[in-house]
Amino acid sequence: MPELPEVETVRRGLERRLAGRVLSQVEVRRPDLRFPLPERLAERLTGRRIDALRRRAKYLLFDLDDGMTLIGHLGMSGRMNIHDARPNAVAPHEHVVFVADDGTTVTFQDHRRFGYFDLAETAGLPAHRFFAPLGPEPLDDAFTGAELTRRLTGKRTPIKAALLDQRVVAGLGNIYVCEALLRAGISPRRSALSVAGVRAERLVPQIKDVLNDAIAAGGSTLRDYVQTSGELGYFQHDFQAYGREGEACRKPGCKGSVQRIVQSGRSTFFCGGCQR
């Protein structure tokens, strides 16, 4: 599933082409994806101006000029493809088509159909069922060591599992949690409550740095993810932990190697030599 850097990369690509534009035509080719699509979605979007394009956690938010927001989630394999004009041919698994007043066309393509859309009042988004349970955005200034400490206090789960809990911090996924923990020198097996305090102050800047580095590289391409331009992401070439089982640790001065364990059914990659 695309994680925060991939979704942010997609958001930036869409913003460059769609912000301030009017949707002159919208085509919905099936009634449902992961969930049923909102009724009369094409009719309700046609003629609306996209005032802003934001992200919350792994969600794309298209703020419209009528006080509504189109909420989009890429799911496991969803892609937003940008074209200068509407393509003559229909590509496989293209389920929703957005055409702007300058001809720019965005197609939502998803062969697994785990992605989804919803339409909600912009003012009510904080209370929406998708967003009400979410923790802070990791790239916001409000996400500090003190805030992470507050959210980890009393949690006896491993820190890896705690960081994947979207109620603790929103948008983090398996890849970037592994990378941030290695950069911070914190074992993924350490109990979350023991990270509160000094270790949290060390971890938060590393979370921000790894996310910003990944965004600058256009995200990570492992399977289905591509940018809106069709380009692949490149951050996978800079992984220090994820997918590097048995390879030497890349941290200067460390003579350890990357190990793989399974936590909560998911692979965790870490260095036993420098993560404590």
Of 275, 200, 194, 205, give the one whose Cα is nearest residue 240: 275
Residue 84, pLDDT above cutoff 60? yes
Q: Classify domain 4-127 at the CATH topology level.
A: N-terminal domain of MutM-like DNA repair proteins (3.20.190)
Alpha-carbon span 190 to 71, nearest angstrom: 36
Q: For the chain, what are the domain ranges?
A: 4-127, 145-271
Give the pLDDT of residue 57: 96
Per-residue model confidence as pLDDT tens digits over 40-71? 999 999 999 999 999 999 999 999 999 999 99
CATH number of 145-271: 1.10.8.50
The DSSP result for 48-83, as a single string, is -BEEEEEEETTEEEEEETTSEEEEEE-TTT-EEEEE
Provide, rounded to the nearest whole percent, the portion of the chain with pLDDT above 70. 93
Alpha-carbon span 11 to 73, nearest angstrom: 11
Cβ neighbour number for residue 117 with a 10 Å cutoff? 21
Kindly report the backbone phi and psi dihedral angles of residue 59, in degrees, each rounded to the nearest multiple of 5, phi listed first: -105, 145
Specify whether the CB–CB gap between 32 and 118 falls below 8 A: no
Alpha-carbon span 77 to 144, nearest angstrom: 32
User: Catalytic residue positions?
Assistant: 2-3, 58, 266
Alpha-carbon span 2 to 78, nearest angstrom: 9
Helix (H, G, I), strand (E, B) or coil at 270: strand
Specify whether the CB–CB gap between 202 and 184 falls below 8 A: yes
Give the predicted TM-score (pTM) of the model.
Answer: 0.91
Cβ neighbour number for residue 133 with a 10 Å cutoff? 10
Per-residue model confidence as pLDDT tens digits over 95-127? 999 999 999 999 999 999 999 999 999 999 999
**Radius of gyration (C-alpha) of the chain in whole angstroms:** 20
Alpha-carbon span 243 to 227, nearest angstrom: 21
Per-residue model confidence as pLDDT tens digits over 129-181? 999 999 999 999 999 999 999 999 999 999 999 999 999 999 999 999 999 99
Of 202, 225, 266, 165, give the one whose Cα is nearest residue 5: 225
